[in-house]
Amino acid sequence: MKPKTVGWYLLGTLVVYFFLVFFMVGIVGNLLVATIAYFKLGHWALETGVINASLKVAAYCGVPVGAGIWVLSWLKSRKEKKRH
């Protein structure tokens, strides 16, 4: 369900969406590196610490990006309301 107004629901949606995007990019990137290392070096280099690091990166990057996009859309809607 796509939010039509700039409210708390949109903020939550954006934060969760970008958290998941950064988390999945981190996991896929680490999986790609582990696969290359497996074929070149012969051992699997993916560990549980990588998942924890991806969660941290997702929290540190995804939450501010989602909140920043929400602030920009809130400012834009406020500017459009003042104009009319």
CA-CA distance, 73 to 81, in Å (whole number)? Answer: 12
- Predicted model pTM: 0.84
Does residue 20 sit within a domain?
Answer: yes
Q: To the nearest whole number, what is the mean pLDDT of the chain?
A: 91
pLDDT digits (tens, 9 = 90+) for 22-46: 999 999 999 999 999 999 999 888 8
Number of domains in the chain: 1
Does residue 3 sit within a domain?
Answer: no
Residue 1: pLDDT band with limits 50, 70, 90:
low
For tokens 């939010």, the residue is 3
Does residue 83 sit within a domain?
Answer: no
- Average pLDDT for residues 42-58, to the nearest whole number? 89
Does residue 84 sit within a domain?
Answer: no
CA-CA distance, 32 to 52, in Å (whole number)? Answer: 17
The domain in which residue 46 lies consists of 8-77
